[in-house]
Structure 1
Amino acid sequence: MKPLHAALGVAFVVCGGLLMFGNHDAPDQVVEAAPRASRADAAPAASTDGAPLVAIAALRARKDLFGSAGDGHHELFGSQSWAPALPSVAPAGAQMPPLPSAPIAPLMPFTYIGKKAADGTWEVYLSRGDETVIVRDKSMIDANYRVDAIKPPTLTLMYLPLKQVQTIDIGNAD
């Protein structure tokens, strides 16, 4: 056994003896609260050497510090909705404005050029402006469109931001 282990063992035995044979009686004296000075007396007094003593200010109510719950909107992690507000309850006989329409996907930006069957899978050639895009089943186009299915005579695309399905006519499997 190392000397450090022996010293720790002796310290452990001494602590255990103090716990078992020490005085466990409760103290007889009671500590009372000290009287608090009024707010007018709360100004810091100067010590004998002229330096001001530190004073502790009185506690203020939470309502004084932050206001009551009805004073405004105080959400720490509130949510934001970008949808237009729905019309409120109108008096009887008033004309109700129409509800806002659901957003729709933009017009299809692709034009069909051609297709090719290779090894049992289809490749479809699309153009967008001056760009030519070659797509296969389950491929992504610019993180906005996903090819869901290529089954002649249609190519099915999903517009991902709105989860809307769009189709392009690609002709028969000839």
Structure 2
Amino acid sequence: MKLQHIVMAVLFFSCALVLEFTNHSQDDGIVEAAPSRSVLNAVTGASDPHGTTGIVAIASVRSREDRSGTGAHPLFNTMMLVPPLPSVAPAHADVPPLPNTPPMPFTYIGKQQSAGHWEVYLARGDDTLIVHDQMVINGDYRVDSIAPPNMTLVYLPLKLVQTLDIGDAD
């Protein structure tokens, strides 16, 4: 045996002897806490110098939701420690609606890959347009990216992004 094993065996047996020969009383059960005189006096409102009242009163019982106002965490059923963030706008403030993007004026006709870049064929009324990546169309739209199955367009007056389905790369 190694020296380390011998030392561990000696420690084990010494711990076992300590546990065996120490005084264990049968009073190791659950002990209920008794309220102190200052707590009793504060709760009952009495000022008994001898502490003989022995009356314990519960001030109020509240549910978890009432205590914090935030409720319990749904996953672990624990209380949230951080209060909820205030709303950006007050409840009575009028929030303007988001601007509406005009309907897409283009209709997809087809696409072709030439020299490693996509060109997409679009119809606008009776006109046929051939568009490339980063191309501006009539000052209103810019082709942001062409990555089949989508083409991303930016409506320049409002800087809103729209997508047009152009099909797979096949």
- TM-score greater than 0.5 by the shorter chain: no
Q: Report the TM-score when normalising by structure 1.
A: 0.44
Q: Report the TM-score when normalising by structure 2.
A: 0.45
